[in-house]
Structures are given as C-alpha cells and as structure tokens.
Amino acid sequence: MRKRSTTLTEAEQRLMEVLWTRKSATVSEVVAALPAEQRAAFNTVQTVLRILEDKGYVAHRVEGRAFRYVPLVDREQARASAVTQVLQRFFDGAPGQLAINLVEREELSEDDLARLQRLIDRARTER
C-alpha cells in the first residue's frame, strides 16, 4: 500500500483555499465557492474533506444535518510543509541548492532580488 502524503495534493489545496478564505464551510458551501472550471461533485468534495481531516488539516463540527469544516493548519504551515518536502525529496535537504535553483531558473522581479539580497546580508551578519 502506498504511503499517504502529509502535504497537500492539488485538489486538497483548492479546497483548503476555500476554507482559509471563508474560515469555515460545509461541503455544499465549498462546492459553491469553487470556480466553475474547478467545480467537483458533492461526493468528491466530501471525500477530499475527509482525507484532509485524516491528515490533520481540518476538523468538523455537526451543524444540523451537515458537517462544518474548519482549517486546523494555516497557509503558512502548509507552505512550509510543502517546501520542506521538496527540499528533502529533490535537494537532499540542502536549502542553498533549492535557493540557487530558483534564482537560476526563475525570472525574479527587482523587488524580489532586492529582498533576497537583504536576507542574504542579514544572514551573513547573524553568523
């Protein structure tokens, strides 16, 4: 049996985006909040929310006949988890290699480059 990922799949992230924005939602509210081109069936959304609950990303409370889901993990925590997984899987845990790869391969704005330079300068002085 395949080991279940603790990071978010693309489908899971779409539902988490709804929950992060709304702070809580029922399955029907999540379905309605998804853009038309990403809309999934009620049962599919319900299943993905259960998976998110198993992973510890959301919890639910009973509200009438519906479950209301609330996020337990914020965007920053999810982002950090995803970066850590990429770092471990593709860069042998070496953050410098990840940073170098991004700078070499991506088109960064002047603002991003200036911010990176400030972070590098600060890291050097804090050694």
What is the predicted pLDDT for the residue at 9?
Answer: 93
Cα within 13 Å of Cα(11), Cβ side? 13
**Interval 72-90: pLDDT, tens:** 999 999 999 999 999 999 9
> How is residue 13 written in tokens?
């992230």
Evaluate the CA torsion angle 13, 17, 19, 23 in order and state its sign: positive
What is the strand order of the sheet 25-26 is part of?
25-26, 66-71, 58-63
Is residue 20 very low, low, confident or very high in pLDDT (cuts 50, 70, 90)? very high
Domains of the chain in sequence order = 10-71 (1.10.10.10), 75-125 (no CATH)
pLDDT, tens digit, 9 for 90 and up, residues 32-72: 999 999 999 999 999 999 999 999 999 999 999 999 999 99
